[in-house]
Amino acid sequence: MRVMVLVPGDKDSEAGKMPSEELLAKMMKFNEELVKAGVMLAGDGLTPTSKAKRVRFSGGQRTVIDGPFTESKELVAGYWIWQVKSIDEAVEWLKRAPFDGGVEVTIRPVFDPEDFGRELTPELRAKDERLRAEVERQRSS
């Protein structure tokens, strides 16, 4: 399974303050371990929201909002994408990351459309096939 690991932002990351050399070194080492274990698919740090933009959708209207954004609890400062056998494996990996200070890092399993296809019960599948057939009929009529 694939998971996304979301690292929240804080005052320092929002101020564009770089982590200490020591922490960077630890983080690099942790990343290296993830790569060597064949777990890491991707990962990046994100710039402060002062460089971000938002688009608000309302009816037909699109409003562009410039950063910075203040509700820092919901902000993401970095992410990883990992390939793991189970979410428990992701938890065990994450426990080894060099975070501190009460920060809460979230693991979210990525939704796999293929899994969805397989989880369909025979009844749902039959319904899905009837729907498809209906769409086909409408298209050809």
Partner 1 sequence: MANAATREAIEAVWRIESARLLGGLVRVVRDVGLAEDLAQEALVTALERWPESGIPDNPGAWLMATAKNRAIDQLRRAQMAERKHDALEHDAALDATTTTRADPEAALDEDVGDDLLRLVLIACHPVLSTEARAALTLRLLGGLTTDEIARAFLVPEPTIAQRIVRAKRTLAEARVPFEVPRGDELAARLPSVLEVIYLIFNEGYAATRGEEWMRVDLCEDALRLGRILVGLVPDEAEVHGLVALMELQASRARARVGPSGEPILLLEQDRSRWDQLLVHRGLGALARAESLGRPLGGYTLQAAIAACHARARTAADTDWHRIVALYDALVELTRSPVVELNRAVAVGMAFGPAAGLELVDALVEEKLLASYHLLPSVRGDLLAKLGRNDEARREFERAAAMAQNARERQLLLARARACAATAQPS
Interaction between residue 86 and partner 1 (CB under 8 A): yes
Interaction between residue 37 and partner 1 (CB under 8 A): yes
Interaction between residue 42 and partner 1 (CB under 8 A): yes
- Written as one string, the DSSP assignment of 58-125 is ETTEEEEEES--S-GGG-EEEEEEEE-SSHHHHHHHHTTS---TT---EEEEPP-HHHHHHH--HHHH
Number of residues forming the site for partner 1 (CB under 8 A): 29
Q: Residue 46 has what DSSP assignment?
A: -
Binding site for partner 1 (CB under 8 A): 26, 29, 32-33, 35-39, 41-42, 81, 83, 85-86, 88-89, 91-93, 96, 98, 112-114, 117, 125, 128-129
